Amino acid sequence: MNRSRPRASGIVALGAILILSLFPQGARADARIGKFTVIFAEGVFHRNGDFVIPGAVRGVSNDGDFRADRAFGNYQRQDVTLVGHVVLHQHAVPGHGPAQPPMTLTSDQLRVLGHPSVYTATGSVVVVQGTRQLHCDYLQLNDTTHDGLLRGHVMAQENDRVVHTSEVHYNTLTGDLLVPSALTGFSSDSDFKADRAVGNNKAGTFTMVGHIVVHRFNYGKANNSSEPLTLWCDKLDIANRPQSVYTATGHVKVAQGDRTLVGPVLRLNDTTHVADMTGGVHGEEKPDRTFDAAEILYNTQTEDFKALGGVKATFPFRRGAFAPTPTPSPARRSSAPTASPNVPPSPTPPPGPVPHATASAPPSM
Q: How far is CA 300 from CA 86, 177, 361, in A?
A: 48, 30, 19
Q: Is residue 223 in some structural domain?
A: yes
Whether 41 is in a domain gets the answer no
Q: What's the CATH number where 305 sits?
A: 2.60.450.10
How far is residue 324 from each of residues 321, 349, 352, 359, measured CA to CA in Å?
10, 12, 5, 19
Closest CA to 318 of 266, 258, 359, 350: 359
Is residue 261, in this structure, part of any structural domain at all?
A: yes
Tens-digit pLDDT string for the chain (365 aa): 344 443 333 333 333 334 333 333 333 222 223 344 778 888 888 888 898 989 999 888 877 888 999 999 887 888 889 999 999 998 865 655 556 789 999 999 999 888 778 899 999 999 998 888 999 999 999 988 999 999 999 999 988 899 999 999 999 889 999 999 999 999 988 999 999 999 998 899 999 999 999 998 865 544 444 678 899 999 999 998 888 899 999 999 999 888 899 999 999 998 888 989 999 999 898 888 898 999 999 887 787 888 888 888 876 755 544 445 555 655 555 444 444 444 444 444 444 333 333 333 333 33
Q: 3-state SS string over the chain?
A: CECCCCCHHHHHHHHHHHHHHHCHHHHCCHHHHHHCEEEECCCEECCCCEEEECCCEEEEECCEEEEECEEEEECCCCEEEEEEEEEEEECCCCCCCCCCCCEEEEEEEEEEECCCCEEEEEEEEEEEECCEEEEEEEEEEECCCCEEEEEEEEEEEECCEEEEEEEEEEECCCCEEEECCCEEEECCCEEEEECEEEEECCCCEEEEEEEEEEEECCCCCCCCCCCCEEEEEEEEEEECCCCCEEEEEEEEEEEECCEEEEEEEEEEECCCCEEEEEEEEEEEECCCEEEEEEEEEEECCCCCEEEECCCEEECCEECCCCCCCCCCCCCCHHHCCCCCCCCCCCCCCCCCCCCCCEECCCCCC
Q: Which domain holds residue 280?
A: 218-318
The pLDDT score that the predictor gives to residue 319 is 52
In a domain, 259, yes or no: yes
Predicted local distance difference test score (pLDDT) of residue 22: 37
Decide if 281 is inside a domain.
yes
Does some domain include residue 161? no
Predicted pLDDT of residue 201: 87
Output 352-361 pairs: Cβ under 8 A, ≥24 positions apart.
Answer: 352/322, 352/324, 352/325, 353/324, 354/324, 355/320, 355/322, 356/320, 357/317, 357/318, 357/319, 357/320, 358/317, 358/318, 358/320, 359/315, 359/317, 359/318, 360/289, 360/315, 360/316, 360/318
pLDDT of residue 76: 81
**What local confidence, expressed as pLDDT, does residue 231 receive?**
94
Q: For the chain, how many structural domains are there in total?
A: 1
Alpha carbon 163 to chain centroid, angstroms? 6
Closest Cα to residue 61, out of 26, 113, 14? 26
pTM above 0.85, yes or no: no
Residue 212 lies in a domain: no
CA 143 – CA 119 distance, rounded (Å): 8
In a domain, residue 200? The reply is: no
